[in-house]
Structures are given as structure tokens and as C-alpha cells.
Amino acid sequence: MATFTVESSDEDGLAATYNSAASGGDQFANDGRIVLHIKNTNASARTVTVTAQNTSVPKRGFGNLTKSNASVSVPATTGERFLGPFPVDAFNDASGNCQITYTAETGVTVAVIKINDSIG
């Protein structure tokens, strides 16, 4: 497992760094403004999942609400997908990280991008 470095994107642009997926999964520090850009060069589609840590929240008038994992299927060979952002209360573990898993890691690379708000 690797801890991926978060890179910032703003109006000046970003040449993102892509990290190879690890068989045991990976993680990244999350502030709620992170998106993943996932590429797959393998001949088979891959599913990438960010695990929800807080999956049940009581809400008055509704009862317990369930939060699902965030997941996307990345098509084979030249597939690309974005996933996120990830609300911190739902997705962060006790260390402030999000956990990523893959159906298989071969051919999968991930860029971890923070979307900056240059207005405020």
C-alpha cells in the first residue's frame, strides 16, 4: 500500500503525476476537495473503489441513512474515469485518509488532484 501525494490544480493548470496501483490498495490524505483521475491500459476493465468509513448516519425524520462506497468501472485498454470528491465525514479514516481498492491493479494508474478554489 502506498500513500499517494495530493497535487493541486488551479487556473495555471497541472501536469499530474500518475501512481501505479498496488495490489493491497492505496490511500491519500483527503480534505473533501480531492478527485481521482484513473487510467487503465489493461485489456480488461477495472473497478476502483474508495471505501466509505462512516456508512450509517441517523437523520431525524428519515431514520438511519446509508452511505455507499464510491466506485467506478474503468474501461479496458484506454479507459479513463474521474472519481470524487469525497466528503470527509463519510470517507476519511481515523488518520484523515481515504482508502482505495482495485479489482486488479495491473495497468491501473491514479492521479490524486486537489481542486483549489481561487475565488476565496
75-114 pLDDT per residue, tens: 999 999 999 999 999 999 999 999 999 999 999 999 999 9
> Is 120 within the bounds of a domain?
no
Q: Classify 67 as helix, strand or coil.
A: coil
CA separation for the pair 64, 54 (Å, rounded): 12
Cβ proximity of 27 and 86 under 8 Å: no
> Is 75 within the bounds of a domain?
yes
pLDDT at 119 over 80: no
Quick: pLDDT tens for 39-66. 999 999 999 999 999 999 888 999 999 9
Beta bridge partners of 40: 79, 108
CA separation for the pair 7, 61 (Å, rounded): 40
State the total domains in the chain: 1
Q: What is the pLDDT of residue 118?
A: 62
Domain residue limits at 35: 2-9+17-115
> Is 61 within the bounds of a domain?
yes
pTM of the predicted protein model: 0.92
> Is 107 within the bounds of a domain?
yes
CA separation for the pair 20, 63 (Å, rounded): 41
- Which DSSP symbol is given to 106? T
